[in-house]
Amino acid sequence: MSAPTLDAMISDRIRRDDYRTWRAAVEATGGCAAPIHLRGSSTILDRDGAILIERSGQVLAPCGNRRATVCPACSDRYAADAFHLLRAGLAGDDTKNVPASVTDRPRAFLTLTAPSFGPVHTRKVTRRGHVVPCGCGERHHPDDPRIGTALDPERYDYVGAVLWQAHAGALWARFTTTLRRALAAALGLRVREFRDHARLSYAKVAEYQRRGLVHFHAVIRLDGPDGPTDPHPPGLDHHALRAAIHHAARAATLTVTRPDGELMTLTWGAQLDLRPVTPTAARHLEDETGEITDTALAGYIAKYATKGTGATDGADRPIHDIDHVQYLDLTAHHRAMIETAWELGGHAEYEALNLRRWAHMLGFRGHFLTKSQRYSATFGAIRGERRTWRLRADLHALDCDTADDNGIPLDLSTVTVINDWWPVHYGHRDDGERELAAAIAERNRQQRRSKIGTRRAA
């Protein structure tokens, strides 16, 4: 008997008696591609301990994966949270305790790249749109999978590339330390005194280049010692910040040991993109002066927070058996990086790097989006706001009083929520359910784009 077709599975799901209930549950997750099935109960009590809501049974929870290749719905939610986090630190948001005065602070947007570990296939275009021949002699098409891969795999330094990637987060930490020292020197202070006069606030996101190495996009802002509510010291301005960033990018180094015992100095690549940030809200990333605007920059950075290494660069999930790498859809270049990370992970001197766990990420061990403590709100706070909104909506839907006699909203901090859920199943039952969930996610995405387009047109 032949296996049911996708159309047959979709038709079967739609005709079942519980379809409306199932669809409502999937819509509540935003169309998650791999929801978590939970069974248990939830009870909501008021300040006096009286039960407001009590429910039990089975519910769906979104998987929460930030990678668009794994779950478009959850990655969209992550990108939206990242946008609000970044936007608050750029333009201010009173609901997130960041005043609008942050737009007056010295700010910069920079991109730090990885150094070269050997020549790779490239596609460079002149200002007139002419494609420059690659080192191999060809003019590559934009979708040529060879772009970013080694011209000579035998001479490419895969060990150095993986070690740099594994220490990229530590190199960023060294960069910020060097930057603080440079700013302290500009103020005529000792490094230990800098925190009493100014604070370095930043948010950064990692993006994979086609050669399989990350580079960092970062927004850097200078505050007073107490953070965004405190004016920056008058001795530092936009020019001083940019000069200090240039110095720190050149001076920040990290020394590690290669497997043969040779010392290796890790640095940033020669390419440094550094531009000022203006408070103007515009539709384009840059205005006519080449300066970057708040709104566009937040969206630009947030979209990279949902990207993985990509289908041709790495795997979306950890690798537990190196022999399985041969079955992945990879170029020989990126397969070599995974295999190198796995091999280095077996060396005792690299045990702390835990490279086999991160082999699927080509050795990169850091978070894709990180920020300093006082840059803006946290993901936890943003998600807490969403939970509060949903709680109020649930209470309202069940005709529970969500405001007092004067119309003042109920203080939900006085409400107690007791959850007792446990997972019983992961993902959808078959391809039919996955396809229907994907359609829900795509519909939501199109509706959001339509609303954004309407607002811009207005």
CA distance 448 to 458: 15
76 beta partners:
none
Predicted model pTM = 0.83
Q: What is the mean pLDDT of residues 319-327?
A: 87
Q: And the tokens for 128? A: 């007139």
With pLDDT > 70 as the criterion, what percentage of the chain qualifies?
A: 87
- Residue 401, pLDDT > 70, answer no
What band does 449 get if pLDDT is binned at 50, 70 and 90? confident
CA distance 370 to 358: 18
What band does 434 get if pLDDT is binned at 50, 70 and 90? very high
Q: What is the pLDDT of residues 229-274, one digit of tens each?
A: 999 998 899 999 999 999 999 999 999 999 999 999 999 999 888 9
Using DSSP's 3-state secondary structure scheme, residue 154 falls into coil
Three-state SS letters, 274-289: EEEEECCCCCCCECCC
The pLDDT assigned to 311 comes to 35
Q: What is the mean pLDDT of residues 187-211?
A: 92
Helix or strand (DSSP H, E) at 423: strand 416-426
Q: What is the pLDDT of residues 4-53, one digit of tens each?
A: 899 999 999 999 999 999 999 999 999 999 999 999 998 888 777 778 77
Using DSSP's 3-state secondary structure scheme, residue 55 falls into strand
Helices (H) and strands (E) in the chain, counts: 10, 13
With pLDDT > 90 as the criterion, what percentage of the chain qualifies?
A: 53
Give which of 232, 121, 242, 234 is closest to 182, Cα–Cα: 242
The pLDDT assigned to 44 comes to 83
- Unique residue bearing structure tokens 């049974």: 57
Q: And the tokens for 328? A: 């992945």
- Residue 76, pLDDT > 90, answer no
Q: What is the mean pLDDT of residues 348-373?
A: 92
Q: And the tokens for 114? A: 């990885």
- Residue 280, pLDDT > 70, answer no
Q: What is the pLDDT of residues 135-184, one digit of tens each?
A: 999 999 988 989 999 999 999 999 999 999 999 999 999 999 999 999 99
CA distance 296 to 285: 5
Q: And the tokens for 326? A: 């041969």
